[in-house]
Structure 1
Amino acid sequence: MSGNLFFQTQYKLDKAYYTECFEQSSQQEQGWQKYRKAMLLSGIGAILILITDILPYAAWFLFILGLVEALSVKYKKPWWITRQMWSQAANNTVHLTVDHRGFTTTLTGVKQHTAWQDINGIKMTEKGWVLETDKGKQYLSSQSLSPEVIAVLAEKAK
């Protein structure tokens, strides 16, 4: 990577950005596999309700917990986006700087730097890049990146 890499941009953390972020970075299980825990909890609760008189409150709790888990799986995306929109960061502008040292984001006066050597993995998605560090994942939309930065990310993703 060249030592003269320097790129600055800004983007808004709006609903469209959060939707893209979720769609590109979340790991979606297919079919009924994602409802496995919900079915297990509801099944155990139903069996305890039907078979035993011991701890009816615990049995009903497990059954209802399974239903709540099923709802959380069904509405995972809208719930996640809503939580992000309720956060203090929502509808604020992020200032992104990419240079030879790494990425620096500034949001509402808080500066966060991620060095290139701290990035454990880079995964290209349809619309952007998922950067994996020890602290978690960070998503960068290709819409806000220059061709030079995209080329650097593609090289590092190999």
Structure 2
Amino acid sequence: MQPFDTQFTLSRHYLAECFDESLPYGKNPNPNYLFPASFLATGAGLLFFTEQPKVFGGMLIALAVLELIHIRFRRAWWLRRQMWGRSADSEVTLNIDEDGVRTQSAYAQTALLWSDIERVIETDLGLILTTQSGGQQYLSKSLFSTELIIEIVAKSGD
């Protein structure tokens, strides 16, 4: 494999692409509505069917509403947290060679060896590198040529 070096900015656009493309392949692709539904049902039950003070039932209903808001706005909240981080809008250097994939910025440095990469998932806009430990790293296809994308996907199958 020919060594490849490039730079990109961790902009809001890049991070939004990362979230959108990685979500279907993440640990929780579909929201869990059972958790807020159980809080809502328990809170309503405590309010209507017991003579206890209404504070605990009201707190459970408030937590259910808060969890539903979290589910509804999880993309916006994730993007906001990333943009609040010090790595936001920083330059990232990406190196790909025979050893693996390395990224380096002023605040973070990662190295994924080809032997640690279990598989490469190709999405419409990028590549998701999945490690044996379950971690994922997203790389946008806009950074690579078509030949390099084919080479990266083939390298992960070795």
TM-score, normalized by the shorter chain, greater than 0.5 = yes
Q: CA RMSD in A?
A: 1.8
Count of residue pairs the alignment pairs up: 152
Name the structure 2 match of 1:122: 120
Name the structure 2 match of 1:15: 12
SS at match of 1:20: helix
**Superposition pairs for residues 6-155 of structure 1, below 5 Å?**
6-27=3-24, 28-29=29-30, 34-54=32-52, 56-108=54-106, 110-133=108-131, 134=133, 136-155=135-154
Distance in 2 between the 1:110 and 1:85 partners? 15
Paired AA for residue 142 in structure 1: K
Percent identity of the aligned residues?
Answer: 30
Distance in 2 between the 1:110 and 1:122 partners? 22
Paired AA for residue 141 in structure 1: S
Which runs of no fewer than 5 residues in structure 2 stay unpaired? Answer: none
8 Å Cα contact 1:124-1:157 kept in structure 2:
no
Give how far 1:75 is off.
0.5
Evaluate the alpha carbon distance shift between residue 69 and residue 109 of structure 1 in structure 2; reply closer, same or farther with a 3 A threshold.
Answer: closer
